[in-house]
Amino acid sequence: MSIITEGRSGQKVLLMGNEAIARGAIEGGVKVCAAYPGNPSSEIIGTLAKIGPELDIYVEWSANEKVALEVAAAASFAGIRGLAAMKQNGLNVASDFLFNLNLTGSIGGLVVVVCDDPGAISSTNEEDTRAYAKIGDLPLLEPSTVQEAKSMIPFAFELSEELGLPCLVRSVTRISHARGSVELDDPVPLSRRPHFNTGRPLVNVPALAFHRKLRAKLHRCRDIFETSEFNEYLGPEQPEALIVASGTPGAYAQETLNLLKAEDRVGIIKLGTTWPLPESFLVRQLRRADVILVAEDVDTFLETNLKALCAQKGRELGIKRFLGRGSGTLPDVGEITPDCLTTAVAEILKISYEARPPEYARTAQEAVSRYAPTRQVGFCAGCPHRAAYWCVKTALALDGRDGFLVGDIGCYSLGFGPSGFEQMKTLHSMGSGAGIAGGMGQLARFGFDQPVMTVCGDSTFYHAALPALFNAIYNQANFLMLILDNSATAMTGFQPHPGTGQNAMGRQAPVVDIEAVCRTLGARIEVADPYDLQGTIEAVNRLLVDEKGVKVLILRQLCALVRANRGEKLYQVRVDQERCLGDGCGCNRLCTRVFRCPGLIWDKEKGRAGIDDAICTGCGVCGEICPQSAILTEEI
Amino acid sequence: MSEKGGLKSLENGVLAKDLCVACGACASLCPYLRSTDGRIVKLHDCDLTEGRCFDYCPRTEVDVAKLHQAVFGRDRRDLDIGSTRRVVGARAIDLELRNRGQTGGVVSTLVSLALEEGSVQAAILTERRADLLPRGRIVRDSREVVTLAGSGYVAGPTLEALNGGSFENEDRIAVVGLPCQITALAKMRVSALDRRTPIDQVVLTIGLFCTWALSYGPFVDFLRKRVGRAEVGKMDITPPPERLLLVTTDSETSRIPLDEIRPFVRSGCDVCLDMTAELADLSVGTVEGRCGWNTVIVRTRAGEEILSRAEAVGAIETESLAEDYLGHLREASRLKKYRALKALEGKGYTDGGYLRLPNRLKRRIMSCGDEGP
Ligand SMILES: Cc1cc2nc3c(=O)[nH]c(=O)nc-3n(C[C@H](O)[C@H](O)[C@H](O)COP(=O)(O)OP(=O)(O)OC[C@H]3O[C@@H](n4cnc5c(N)ncnc54)[C@H](O)[C@@H]3O)c2cc1C
Ligand code: SF4
Ligand code: SF4
């Protein structure tokens, strides 16, 4: 029971953006929800998974985003409502299906929520997925507030059914992860029995005919958007300038004018439906002023499309002066912040304004650093990945042929940084490590002589590494793949996956056994425990010199956070400060300078290493590293 | 003032320059360096500015006069082969030792005797397993010595065994090593750093003559292509003009011209000054042209004592060496020095590189050039 399931119409509650989207889905009568976890989108399905059984909604964590979209689409094909959620990178994975789905169209309401990450706060890129709407001729909604994030979802379902098209809703980190007051509505009463109409196949051949139909749907969509409540004009009749904004900048724009006391000088066109553009609405509003500042995250999607519109309607609108990211008035990359927006508007209005006086910035920085220790992005205390990378580093050094490791996305991506001893040498998309290793593994014929390793987590293995692995085995590439099996999708918040024996709704599920899969494919397999450094190093070295083919080393050890959450510890670890020689050791603080598990501390007073009991998760690995055997591990 | 440095300097000045001779003096001292397959591998960066690895390495500063002083307590007299008390021919009496020994079995006999009589309690020798990789080995039982007789011309980290060994109950250790290893031992002795290896317990050093040593990995790859997987027994080099490496396996003896082996010589050996282990208590090599006999150079009292006892108990027999043979030995030794200086020059070290030579010695070496090598 929660406010998300129980809340009634008119009630105002505080929700996180992703919870609001989940509530919106419930209000919109969703029946099937599927996703692959990825920040900042994970809590949408996370929230729905918890309440799915209670509300008779089917919720799944899919192996990847393409499958998630296909699962949600299947519900739509059978006439009920489906929702798929993903982060920006996920839409790339799903896009192949999406750009065929747009042609066949959908039946029951189908909503695709994409959470972009402007500023790449928890991502490897800050891709702006709005371009997909344009390429795929699909309707696109962009909430500016948590309230809109909720309200747009039932609307998106309705729209989708009316048009027979999936509807894209684009959230961003600052909405998905923000909290805001949300007024609830009641769920739509829908009681449909899913049924697939065999008389109406969904086949997009001949494509041209379907493309024509799709364009017609898009025109109809534009008409609907002309009167949408999600688009509005706020401001005086004849402002000096206009701000056109979507997403969070839409909310920031009001703050900005408030702050500059410029509400009577500048008008805001806040757009919630950004593709196709509501042209007549826009033409009416754009007449009001000639200076137009476009504020949006991340690309110049609106700006470019507005410029095109103004060119088209040049006779009616005259010549406009466009300012925004394209003109350099707003930053070229990264998030639009209230500060940079305010600075831009102040400049346009020639108001003197200092967003953040340098003096204040300095004092703030000082105050913060006094209380918050500087932290490096890195693995948790006791993380098996740290141990694994330690072994990779050692094994590659011992191997001595300038071997290297290519990787991809997961907790273990941090292997590019100091906590992974800078071992990961390429980092791109899910599963790309295995693909790249497969390519490198073909280069020996041209004289390439470096051993190649790749790494992937268990969740990434199911997501996208499998095809690359098939490919490598089939094409007889030569590399060693490490699968870091920590039995968790740890990076995104411990969602279950096909290897965990549990499904999204907490029910028991069959375990898809990675080892058995690899064995069946015909790879040479070994399994090791990364906490056993020596054993793992030897295994890596052994497999590296094994001349031909794809070798898989599964490094199996439970995620340290999962173990810590269970209140388990393998070892009680302490430093015998008599035995530790401190700076006199010659080890040059191997434990705290090189290995650097956050559980290890340097006791400045005594000039010796120590253990921070509150942080140490008791993996015991540092005991193996100390050359003086001064770190004592006692089995619990 | 001797040069100081840490792992970074070792890495830049020795490892990266391919001057390492895999002696093992820097291994098993810390977790940063490890020896594997005849290579010294840096596992992590160490930012100490002073370290034993750098201090002991025979390819960081070698101040010939200073080391000589430290070991012998006096200045070097013989510029060609270092200080000598006497130079004799010798061989083991025991037939097994003589047969299993690389040349005349003198080294094994002396070590075995020292252990037996207790003048040393442990010896650092070098073993060679089926993989042909030389490894340092601590021997405490005299009967084990004969099993380690013979040598394979491959460089290996023998001294690692000294560094990593635990000698709590032993205060008398013997070490058998190549000239570079004996140099490293001398550098350990004079090191001013606080932490020490068990060097202070080393009471006897037996040096082997050496012209060059081979790089393990590349050489073994070559050898395996040549002789297959068969177990390799004795390896020997025939005297000039033939100059062949004889490799004996169960089935056959392969005769490999030395020219084919040359590419596998460690490039750190090219700049090596020392053919006769000039800083050892006693140095042992072959007598060219007299099969089964060792040349033995006695340099110190410790060396003299063990050799005389071995003679006295009838473990070895000795004979004097002809004057012109000694002349050849000196010439060969001087020639190696000359080649080393030339090689250093060739590698771009205009200041003599790692070597600090007294002018007298330098002139003597360069006189080789006048005569033509
Ligand atoms: C790499 C190398 C190059 C050599 N070059 C020459 C040369 O140019 N001219 C010459 O006269 N003699 C040379 N020798 C020495 C020669 O081969 C004999 O070792 C020496 O004559 C002693 O013979 P022995 O019968 O008394 O030795 P043994 O009684 O057989 O004892 C040999 C001892 O050498 C040790 N040993 C074996 N391999 C190694 C190694 N790689 N590093 C350190 N110690 C080792 C063993 O522990 C053993 O105790 C060389 C030896 C080596 C290892
Ligand atoms: S969450 Fe788990 S897997 Fe990720 S860094 Fe932390 S301990 Fe490691
Ligand atoms: S020569 Fe010896 S001490 Fe120097 S780097 Fe090589 S193994 Fe280490």
Which chain A residue lies closest to B35 (C-alpha atoms)? A398
How far, in Å, CA of A207 to CA of B325, rounded?
A: 96
- Does a structural domain hold residue A369? no
Pick B68 or A567 by higher pLDDT.
Answer: B68
Given an 8 Å threshold on Cβ–Cβ distance, is B32 in contact with A590? yes
| A47-68 b/e (C-beta count within 10 Å ≥ 16 → b) | bbbbbbeeeebbbbbbbbbbbb
Asked if pLDDT for residue B373 goes beyond 60, the answer is no
Picking from B219, B341, B267, B351, the residue whose alpha carbon sits closest to that of residue B15 is B267
What are the 10-residue block averages of pLDDT along chain A, 636 residues in total?
86 97 98 95 94 94 96 98 97 97 98 97 95 98 98 98 98 97 96 95 94 97 98 97 97 95 97 98 97 97 97 94 95 95 96 86 86 80 96 96 94 92 95 95 93 92 93 94 82 76 86 90 94 97 89 94 88 93 87 94 92 94 93 93
Interface test with A, best of B44, B48, B49, B197 (most A CBs within 10 A): B44
| Number of domains present in the structure of chain A | 4
Best CA proximity match to B278, nearest among B334, B233, B326, B240: B334
* Whether A242 and A265 share a structural domain: yes
Q: Could you tell me if B246 and B223 are in contact, meaning their C-beta atoms sit under 8 angstroms apart?
A: no
Are the Cβ atoms of B195 and A586 closer than 8 angstroms? yes
Q: Are residues A145 and A196 in the same domain?
A: yes
Same domain, A89 and A138: yes
Return d(Cα B268, Cα B258) in angstroms, integer.
Answer: 18
Q: Are B32 and A588 in contact (CB < 8 Å)?
A: yes
- Looking at the fold, whether A400 and A468 belong to one and the same domain comes out as yes
* Partner B contacted by A596 (CB < 8 A): no
Whole-angstrom Cα distance, residue A276 to residue A226?
10
* Ligand 2 centroid from CA A409, angstroms: 13
Q: Do A394 and B48 touch (CB under 8 A)?
A: no
Q: Are A581 and A458 in a shared domain?
A: no
Ligand nearest to the CA of A615: 2
Tell me, yes or no, whether A492 and A450 share the same domain: yes
Cα B10 to ligand 1 centre (Å): 27
Is the pLDDT reported for residue B370 higher than 70? no
How many angstroms separate the alpha carbon of residue B248 from the centre of ligand 2?
Answer: 55
Q: Over 50: is that where the pLDDT of B237 sits?
A: yes
Based on C-alpha coordinates, what's the Rg of chain B? 19
**Residue B36: which of A393, A398, A590 has the nearest Cβ?**
A398
Residue B189 scores a pLDDT above 70? yes
Atom of ligand 3 nearest to the CA of B184: 3
Across the interface, of A397, A588, A590, the residue whose CB is closest to B42 is A397
Q: How far apart are the first and last CA of chain B?
A: 34
Q: Say how far apart CA B92 and CA B98 lie, in whole Å.
A: 5
Q: Are residues A261 and A331 in the same domain?
A: yes
Is A587 within 8 Å of chain B by CB? yes
Structure tokens at A479: 């590399």
Query: Ligand 2 within 6 A of A559 CB?
Result: yes
Is pLDDT larger for residue A546 or for residue B370?
A546
User: Hey, is the C-beta of B45 within 8 angstroms of any chain A C-beta?
Assistant: yes
Q: Please identify, among A515, A537, A565, the residue that sits at the C-terminal boundary of a domain.
A: A565
Give, in order, the Cα–Cα distances in Å from A543 to each of A460, A527, B200.
Answer: 22, 11, 42
Chain A touched by B8 (CB under 8 Å): no
* Domain contains A71: yes
Residue A309 contacts B, CB cutoff 8 Å: no
Locate B206 and state its tokens: 């037996």
In a domain, A361, yes or no: no
Structure tokens at A291: 């200076």
- Confidence (pLDDT) at B242: 85
Q: Structural domain boundaries of chain B?
A: 1-215+265-373, 216-264
Q: Which of A398, A541, A542, A622 to mutate to test the interface with B (most CBs of B within 10 A)?
A: A398
**Which pair of structure tokens corresponds to residue A607?**
């000039």
ipTM of the complex: 0.86
User: Candidates B208, B219, B220: which one to mutate for ligand 1, based on the most atoms within 8 Å of Cβ?
Assistant: B208
**Is residue B103 within 8 Å of B128, Cβ to Cβ?**
no
Asked whether residue A202 falls in the same domain as residue A252, the answer is no
Distance between start and end Cα atoms, chain A: 38
A37 and A147 assigned to the same domain: yes
Burial B65-101 (b: 16+ CB within 10 A, else e): ebbbeebbeeebeebbbbbbeebbbbbbebeebbebb
Ligand 2 atom 6: residue of nearest CA:
A380
Which of B10, B11, B32, B56 would best serve as a mutation to test chain A binding (most A beta carbons within 10 A)? B32
Residues A389, A513, single domain; the answer is yes
SS in 3 state form for A190-212? CCCCCCCCCCCCCCCCCHHHHHH
Q: Is residue A464 part of a domain?
A: yes
Q: Is A386 in the pocket of ligand 2 (CB under 6 A)?
A: no
**Same domain membership, residue A99 and residue A240:** no
Helices (H) then strands (E): counts for chain A: 23, 24
Range of the domain at A79: 3-225
Residue A593 lies in a domain: yes
pLDDT tens digit sequence for A478-525: 999 999 988 766 666 677 888 888 888 888 888 888 999 999 998 999
- Report which bound ligand comes closest to the CA of A379: 2
Classify residue A357: in a domain, yes or no: no
A409 with A312, same domain? no
> Could you tell me the CATH number of the domain that includes residue A591?
3.30.70.20
Protein residue whose Cα sits closest to atom 3 of ligand 3: B57
The chain-wide mean pLDDT, for chain B, equals: 94
Cα A582 to Cα A527: distance, rounded to the nearest angstrom: 36
Q: Do A590 and B42 touch (CB under 8 A)?
A: no
pLDDT given at position A503: 87
Given pLDDT bands bounded at 50, 70 and 90, which one contains residue B320? Answer: very high
Instruction: Identify the residue whose C-alpha is closest to ligand 2 atom 1.
Output: A490
Domain termination site, one of A520, A535, A565: A565
Q: Is B49 in CB contact (< 8 Å) with chain A?
A: no
Residue A203 belongs to domain with CATH number: 3.40.50.970
CATH number at residue A262: 3.40.50.920
Give φ, ψ of A437 to 5 degrees.
-60, -40
Q: Strand A82-87's sheet: what is its strand order?
A: A58-61, A32-35, A82-87, A110-116, A167-172, A140-141, A273-275
User: Domain ends where: A225, A257, A290?
Assistant: A225
Contact B31 A587 (CB under 8 A): yes
With a 6 A CB cut-off, is A385 part of the ligand 2 pocket?
yes
- Asked if B48 lies within 8 A of A594 by C-beta distance, the reply is no
